Each structure stands twice: as structure tokens, then as C-alpha cells.
Chains A and B, each alone.
Chain A
Amino acid sequence: MKKKVFIGLLAVIVCFTVGGLYLTNTFQRTIGMLQNIIVLQQMEFQKKNLLNRLETVQTDLLLKDSPHAVDITLFMQHVREMEQELNRCTDCHHAPSMTERINRLREETETYLKGLSRAYTLKADQERERQELNETFTRGDSLTGQLNGIIVASSQTVAEQATLTQDIISSTRNIILLLVTAGPLILVVVSYFFIRGVTRSLSVLTAATRKIKSGMLQYRIGEELKDEFGELASSFNEMAVSLQEQYNKLQETERLAVVGELAAGLAHEIKNPLAGMKVSIEVMVQELALEGEDRDIFLQIIHEIDRINALLKSLLNYARPPRPEFVATDVHRILEDTITAARYSLKRTEKDADYLKKKIAFIKDFDPDMPDIIADPAQLQQVFLNLILNSVDAIDREGTITIRTRRLPDDTVRIAMADNGPGIDPEALAKIFKPFFTTKPHGTGLGLAICKRLIEQHEGGAITAANNPKGAGVTFTITLPIQPGTRGGNNEAQGQNLSTG
């Protein structure tokens, strides 16, 4: 559009310049023609003047011998004035036919002048003197006749020129009028169309934004807008798409949150009746002297109730994690504790004999420069224990679990736990932190989800999982800020403070 405006401006400037030049040229021409007419008129005047002077001289000649004769000096002055006028006429004329006539007039005037001189200087008898005078006078008359002819001819020319000039002036005036009215008019029309185009595009965009505001996120600008507006329209559409996606995501998140809340609420409510049930059954077991299979059945019921309780606890743990209590935490100490706990659980005699058979080495690679971080130590321990136990589960018989800590330059710390187990299927890896996702036959699928929740409660914290590039196994990487909030991490919706139940 910039180009259009620029081209438009250029066109206007060109038009103005051309118009201006044309006007200037026309004015020059017209002024020239008018000046020409003035000159022609002046020439007419001069010719009339010449005629006057010629007549004066003729009169002087006639009166030469009368009592009213003029003195020779005055006479010569009259003649001189006549000559001057004649010269002026010759200087002016351009037209060849006219110049020819005037030249002839000049030649004859020369002879006339000689005759005039004779008339004054001749001293002879009256007859001869009279004869000379008449001859000269006649010549003067002839000159007068010629001059009149010239005057008539040229006045015709002047009239013609005047008419011609008038016509040209008229037509020029009309053209100028046309230009002067058409010019701005065209400008206005062009501007109007241009502005209308812009306004239309703008109103389309404005209408679209209003639609979005009113909630119609599926609205897309269908019209093809011109130039930059087109770009704006497609950006707008992309924005609408993005908005819609985010809205959908938000909706889903809300839904999940609501569901989560319901579930938590439900779980909480279920706990009581469940406790009641468990107590009742235990009483029953005490009271009734059961034996053998019957006792087993009741114990099984209690066992199942315990299982439900555990599940509910995990669920509640996930849904309403306790608010973290931030203190300065020595990460290494927690890790040591966790490793100790893990080692102990390996040695412990359990129903599952599998544990005894596993031989797992714990390798510690701790950053000596590790600071205390502001975190909730209990939650961290829970997370570390979960991860280690996962790794233990993953390892079949023998394996290594490496725990590496590093302090990073951006005021965060990184804790990486790697095992050399079989690794995780890439498809599963994507969903591993999702709640209720599990690869274990008896898993709740909430463990890692809880870990993620707890870590992310530390503002700026994150947890990721990846298969080891070389060799086998998985590495879980936890990133925590030294000071929560300094890295501007995502802020999960705070769960309600929950008293552990």
C-alpha cells in the first residue's frame, strides 16, 4: 500500500507540474499575443501620426506663398517629425508585403523631400515656381494616398489578429477552466475510492475483532483484503486459531481441574465410609471365631480396603498436594537420605522375594559447589524416592543408578538420576508424566504425575525424562531454581491447602 500511496503522490505531483507548466506556457503565449496586438495598435497609431504630419507638411507647402506661411525652421521641424514617424514605422514592420510597401513609401518620400527643398529654395518666375510647387504637392498627395492604403490594409490585419487572439484566449480559458475544475475533482474522486478501500478493510478487521471479543473464536476473515490489510487479515486468522486452541486447552484444563476437584472431594468423602467398613470388618474378625478359608476371606477384604485407601491417598496426594513449605534445603543431604532409604528397602524382607535378588550400585556425582536451595525438603524427598524406586523397579537383576548434581550458571540446580535399565518406550515417554499412566501391572499411574506436580510447585522447577543416548536406561532430570520465582517458571494453579489425611 505504501507503494500505491507513493505512486499516487507522484502522479499528483506530475499532474500538478505538467498543469503548472502548461498554464505558465499558456500565459506566456497569451501575453505574447496581447503584446503583439498592443504593438500592432501602436503601429496603427504611428501610421496615423505619420499621416498627420504629412498633411501638416502639405499644408505648410500650400501656405508657403501666402501670408500664413511658416518660417523655414518650423517647416523643417515638421518635415523632420514626419521623417521620424516614417522611420519608426519602418523599424516596426515584419510582414514582407507591408515592408515592401513601406520601403516604396520611403523612396517616394525621399523624392518628395527633394521637391519640398526645391519649393523653398527655388527662385524663378511665378509660373515655374507654381509648377514646382504643384508637382511636389501632387507627389505629397500620392504619398497620402499610399499611406492611407497601407493604413487600411494593416488595420485589417490588426482586426484579424485581434479576433484570432480573442479566439485563442477563449479556448485557452475554457481549457484552463476545465483543468482547474477537473483536476481537483479527479483528485477528490481518486482519494475517495482510496479511502473507501482502506475504510472497508478496516471495518472488516474491526468487525472481526468484535466477533472474537463476543466469543466467536471460530470466526475467520473470509474476504480477501488488499495489500498490508491482507497480511493483517491472515495474521488475524492465525491469532484466532491460536486463541481457539488455547481456549480449548484452557477449557480442558478447567474441566480436568473440576474433575480433579470432584475426584478429590469424592476421595475425601469415601475415606470415612471406608474407614468405617474397615473397622467393622476388623471387629467382625475379632468377634467371630473364624478359621481357615473364612478368615482368609475377611483378611482379603481388609487388604482390599487397604488398597483402596492407598489409592485414595495417592489420588489425594496428587489432586491436592500439600502447600510446599520453603526452607533452605541441602539437596545433597536429602539425596543421601533417599539413597540410604532405597538401600534399606532393597535389603528388607518383603513378600516379594525379587528384591533380594537385585544388586544395585548407587553412584554419586555431586557438584561440590552446590548451594542450599529454597525448597520443601519433604516434597523433594518424596520425589527423589519415587524416582529411585522407579529406577530400581526398572532394573531387572543388576544395575547402576547414577545421581548427578550440578549448579548451573542461571541460578538453577540440576539433579539427574540415570539408570541403566531397559529404558522407556518412546511412545510411553511422551505420556509418562500424565496421571493414571503406568507401565507397571500394579501401578496407580500417579507417582510421576505427583512428582511433576511437586517439582512444578517450586516456581521455575521442571522435570523431564529421556532415554540415555548411549547405552541403556533412562535419565530423569530435575531443574530447580535456587530461589523460586527467579526463573519465571510456569505457575501451576495452587491446590488447596490440605491437611494430610
Chain B
Amino acid sequence: MWRHAGILLCALLLIPVLQACRDRDRPEMNGPEPGAKKEFIIGIVPEHNIFRQKERYEPLALYLSKKLGLRVELRIMAGYRNVLESIATGELDAAFLGSFTAAAAIRRTGAQPLARPQYPDGTSTYHGLLFTRKDSSIRSVQDMRGRTFAFVDRATTAGWLLPLHYFREHGIADPEAWLGEVYYTGTHEDAIMDVLNGKADIGAAKNTVFAALAEADERITNELEIFATSPPVPENGLLACRDVEETLRMKLREVLLAMHLNREGRSALDTLGVTEFIETTEKDYDPVFNYAEEIGLDIGSDNGNGSF
């Protein structure tokens, strides 16, 4: 009997030893393996502040890395027009573009739209807003004379094109002359915050960002007044550059369109605040093309770089 007890005791003593060995052997599993994988660089426009954008799109990048077997890297751009430059130089393989830059990219660089996100309420478009503080006396174009206007970027629909259209509609051909100071915040978020904080009198931004900020901060709803909206245009979608080969392009589209069918994909979509990706073609950007034409802007020409 004692011998059995002795053997059992030895066996019991071995267990912690084995456990310790096992823990040591386990390889560190942090993050995706760096490998000899090819890179795939996706450009991101600064819709929200640049750090926030990184956070939002990161899960998607990881998901795509896994599904495509490539090292998907995000590159946040300092400005909307920087994206067009980077696409033109071939620095990017694809990009999430606002509707204006997308249209420009399609015309100028031959980029191909693949998919765009759809919101929980079923919409996949956005529209532009013009807003001011409730306690400002500005309600019409006339009141804007000599005031400070915060645009987003010359290469955005909501942040430039649509306000421009608005001014033209109301008879102002040259807004810069009419307004006191004009500047470009770079992000929709900043445009909204600047008006809220009094840095600018009037601002223009897209409604989705406005709604997102309003959810986080009730001051937006309480203190800001929207006095104009524009017709809807397609939400920021993914476009592949011309040089991306057909098979990869197809695969990318497939992956995006099927993303909402698995848990991991849904989680990444969640971070973006959308439910799924839907197909997008050149046709979807017709509203943008039309607006540009209406105000006499030639998207296809190369002077979209600074002299809109």
C-alpha cells in the first residue's frame, strides 16, 4: 500500500513541473505574424480626426488581411486631396473615398468602386448640412456676409461642393469674396466643433458625422441649428486603383460584400457603425457628377488639386 501511495505522490508532484514546462513552451501569440506577405495599402480620408479614423478602420484592415492573405495597411491622409495625389502616384492600392474624391478618382485615375457601407437604418448615402449656432443671427445667405465659414476640404462633397451649390443657388457666385474668413478644417468633426465653440460662424459638414457627434455630445443638438441640407450622395466607399489586378479586385469585393455573414466581420463593421457593405458602381456617383456640372466644376480635370 505504501508503495502505491509513494508512486501517486510522485505523479502528483510531476504535474506542476509539467505545467511549468508547458507554459514556457507556448509561443507568444501577439498579433498577426509578420511574414513574407505582400502589402496592400488602403488610404483613409480624415473624416474624423486622424487618430479616430485609424481606430475605426483598424478592425476592417485586420479582417481583410486575414481573408485576403495580404498585409493590409491603413494610411490616414492629412487631407482629402492628399488621397487623390497618392492614388495618382501609385502609393495606394485602394482607398476609402468620400463621394467627391471618389468621383474625381474615377474620372482622373480610373479607380474602380467596389463597395460602400450601409447604415443600420438601411441608408447608404449621406447629405451635407449647413449649420450655425442657434444664438447667432444667421439664417440666410445675406446674414453670412463678412462672417467666418468653416469648410472641410475642397475635395469633399459635403464640405465644399454642396455649400458651393447652395451659394450658387442663392445667387452668390464667389463665396470667398462674400464671406469674411474662409478656412478648411480638414475633418468634418472639426468643422462642427469649430462652429459649436465659436471659432467659426457657419460650418458645412456631412450629416453622418454630425449625427455621431450629436450622440456623444448633447450640446450639438442643443446649441446648433441646421438651416440647409443637400440631396443625398453615396457614403464613403472603397475604390480599388486601376493597377490592382482583376482577381484581387474581385476577391476584395467578395470579401467586403460577405463580411456581415460572419462574426468577425460583423464586429469590424460594428466599429465603423455600419451593418454591411453593398455593391457600388460608377452609376452611384451620378449625383456628384451632376452637381459638379451644375456649378461648372470639371472633376475630370487636373486642376482639382488646388484651384477649385
CB distance from B119 to the nearest CB of A (A): 24
Q: Which of B21-73 contact A (CB under 8 A)?
A: 46, 49-52, 54
Given the complex, which residues of A lie within 8 Å of B75, measured CB to CB?
Answer: 73
Query: B79 contacts which chain A residues (CB < 8 A)?
Result: 121, 123
Task: Specify which chain A residues have a CB less than 8 angstroms from the CB of B77 in the assembled complex.
Answer: 72
Known contacts A113-B49, A120-B50, A123-B153; decide if A72 and B183 are in contact (CB<8 Å): no
Provided the pairs A121-B79, A121-B187, A122-B186 are in contact, do residues A76 and B51 lie with their beta carbons within 8 angstroms? yes
B181 touches A72 (CB 8 A): no
B190 at interface, CB cutoff 8 A: yes
B229 interface hit (Cβ, 8 Å): no
Please report which residues of chain A, range 24-79, place their CB below 8 angstroms from some CB of chain B when the two chains form the complex: 72-73, 76, 79
- Output the nearest chain A residue to B183 by Cβ-Cβ distance: A124
Asked if A427 lies at the interface with its beta carbon under 8 angstroms from chain B, I say no
Q: How far is it, in angstroms, between the C-alpha of A128 and the C-alpha of B151 when the chains are bound?
A: 14
B-side contacts of A118, CB under 8 Å: 49, 185-187, 190
Whole-angstrom distance from the CB of A96 to the nearest CB of chain B?
A: 27
Residues of A close to B103: CB separation below 8 A: none
Which residues on A sit within 8 Å (CB–CB) of B50?
A: 72, 76, 116-117, 120-121
Contact of A113 among B51, B78, B186, B190 (CB under 8 A): B51
Knowing A76-B51, A79-B51 are in contact, say whether A121-B183 is a contact too (CB < 8 A). Answer: no
Q: Determine if B78 and A121 form an interchain contact, defined as CB atoms under 8 angstroms apart.
A: yes
Contacts of B195 in A (CB 8 A): none
User: Which residues of chain A come closer than 8 Å to B87, judged between CB atoms?
Assistant: none
Q: A73-B75, A123-B79 are in contact. Are A128 and B183 (CB under 8 A)?
A: yes
Q: How far is the CB of B236 from chain A (nearest CB, A)?
A: 16
A114 CB-CB contact with B under 8 Å? yes
Judge whether A223 is part of the interface by a CB distance below 8 angstroms.
no
Q: A269 an interface residue at 8 Å Cβ cutoff?
A: no
Taking residues whose C-beta sits less than 8 angstroms from the other chain, chain B's interface range is 20 to 34
Residues of B within 8 A of A122 (CB): 183-186, 190
Given contacts A117-B50, A118-B190, contact A124 B76 (CB under 8 A): no
Q: Is A125 an interface residue (CB 8 A)?
A: yes
Q: A72-B77, A72-B78, A123-B79 are in contact. Are A117 and B187 (CB under 8 A)?
A: yes
Task: Give every chain A residue within 8 A of B52 (Cβ-Cβ).
Answer: 117
A122 CA to B159 CA, complexed, in Å? 13
| Known interface pairs A120-B78, A121-B79; A114-B49 also in contact (CB < 8 Å) | yes
Contacts of B193 in A (CB 8 A): 114
Query: Using Cβ atoms and an 8 Å threshold, which residues of chain B touch A125?
Result: 181, 183
Which residues on the B side are within 8 Å of A121 (C-beta)?
Answer: 46, 49-50, 78-79, 153, 185-187, 190
Which residues of A lie under 8 Å from residue B190 when comparing CB positions?
A: 114, 117-118, 121-122
* CB nearest neighbor in B for A115: B49
Instruction: Name the B residues within 8 Å of A113 (CB-CB).
Output: 49, 51
Which of under 10, 10 to 19, 20 to 34, or 35 or more describes the interface residues of A? Answer: 10 to 19
Q: How far is the CA of A120 from the CA of B45 in the complex (A)?
A: 12
A-contact bits for B201-215, CB 8 A (1 contact / 0 none): 000000000000000
Residue from B49, B78, B189 with most neighbouring chain A CB atoms (10 Å)? B78
Complex: A122 Cα to B79 Cα, angstroms: 8
Chain B residues with Cβ below 8 Å from A120 are: 50, 78, 186
Closest to B50 in A: A117
A110: nearest residue on chain B (CB-CB)?
B51
Q: Per-residue 0/1 for A96-119: is the Cβ within 8 Å of any B Cβ (1 yes, 0 no)?
A: 000000000000000001101110
The answer on a CB contact under 8 Å between A123 and B183 is: yes
Contacts of B186 in A (CB 8 A): 117-118, 120-123
Q: What is the distance, in angstroms, from A46's C-beta to the closest C-beta of chain B?
A: 18
Nearest residue (CB) in B for A121 is B186
Q: Please name all residues of chain B whose beta carbon is closer than 8 Å to the beta carbon of A117 when the two chains form the complex.
A: 46, 49-52, 186-187, 190
With A and B bound together, what is the CA distance between A212 and B78 in angstroms? 117
A125 closest partner in B (C-beta): B183
Give A83 to B51 CA distance when docked, in angstroms: 10
Tell me, rounded to whole Å, the shortest Cβ–Cβ distance linking B99 to chain A: 19
Closest chain-B Cβ to A110's Cβ sits at a distance in Å of 9
Q: How far is the CB of B11 from chain A (nearest CB, A)?
A: 24
Q: How far is the CA of A72 from the CA of B75 in the complex (A)?
A: 9
Q: Kindly list chain A residues whose C-beta atoms are within 8 Å of the C-beta of B54.
A: 76, 80
A121 to B48: give the CA distance in the assembly, Å: 10
A124: min CB distance to chain B, Å: 3
* Residue in B closest to A123 when the chains form the complex, CB atoms: B184
* B76 and A76 form a contact (CB under 8 A): yes
- Specify the chain B residue showing the minimal Cβ separation from A71: B78
Name B150's closest neighbour in chain A (CB-CB): A124
Residue of B76, B153, B189 touching A72 (CB-CB under 8 A): B76
Contacts of B184 in A (CB 8 A): 122-124
CB A139 to nearest CB in B, in angstroms, measures 14
Query: Chain A nearest CB: distance from B225 CB in Å?
Result: 23
Q: How far is the CB of B239 from chain A (nearest CB, A)?
A: 20
Nearest CB in chain B: distance from A272 CB, A? 88
Residues of A within 8 A of B46 (CB): 117, 121
Q: Which residues of A contact B185 (CB under 8 A)?
A: 118, 121-122
Interface string of B161-200 (1 = CB under 8 A from A): 0000000000000000000010111110110010000000
CA distance A64 to B190 in the complex (A): 19
How far is B54's CA from A83's CA once the two chains are assembled, in angstroms? 13
Closest to A73 in B: B75
Q: How far apart are the CA atoms of A80 and B76 in the complex, in Å?
A: 13
B45 to chain A, nearest CB (A): 10
CA distance A118 to B78 in the complex (A): 9
Closest-CB distance, A118 to chain B (whole angstroms): 5
- Counting chain A CB atoms within 10 Å of each CB, the highest count among B46, B51, B153 belongs to B51
- Which parts of B99-147 form the interface with A (CB within 8 Å)? none
Task: Give the Cβ gap from B67 to chain A, nearest Cβ, in Å.
Answer: 24
Residue from the set A114, A116, A117, A120 with the largest chain B CB neighbour count within 10 Å: A117
Question: Shortest distance in angstroms between B68's beta carbon and chain A's nearest beta carbon?
Answer: 21
CA separation between A113 and B184, bound complex, in Å? 18
B residues in contact with A124, CB < 8 Å: 181, 183-184
Q: Which of A70-94 contact B (CB under 8 A)?
A: 72-73, 76, 79-80, 83
Which of B46, B50, B187, B190 counts the most chain A CB atoms within 10 A?
A: B50
Chain A, residues 286-301, CB within 8 Å of chain B (1/0): the string is 0000000000000000
Q: Could you tell me the distance between the alpha carbons of A117 and B191 in the complex, rounded to whole angstroms? A: 12
* CB closest chain-B residue, reference A117: B49
Chain A residues in the interface with B (C-beta under 8 A): 72-73, 76, 79-80, 83, 113-114, 116-118, 120-125, 128
The 7 closest A-B pairs by CB, nearest first: A121-B186, A124-B183, A117-B49, A123-B184, A117-B50, A120-B78, A72-B78
Known: A116-B50, A128-B181. 14 other contacts (CB 8 A): A72-B50, A73-B75, A80-B54, A116-B51, A117-B46, A117-B49, A117-B51, A117-B186, A118-B186, A120-B186, A121-B46, A121-B78, A122-B190, A123-B186
A–B Cβ pairs within 8 angstroms, 9 of them: A72-B50, A72-B77, A72-B78, A76-B54, A76-B76, A117-B190, A120-B50, A122-B183, A123-B79
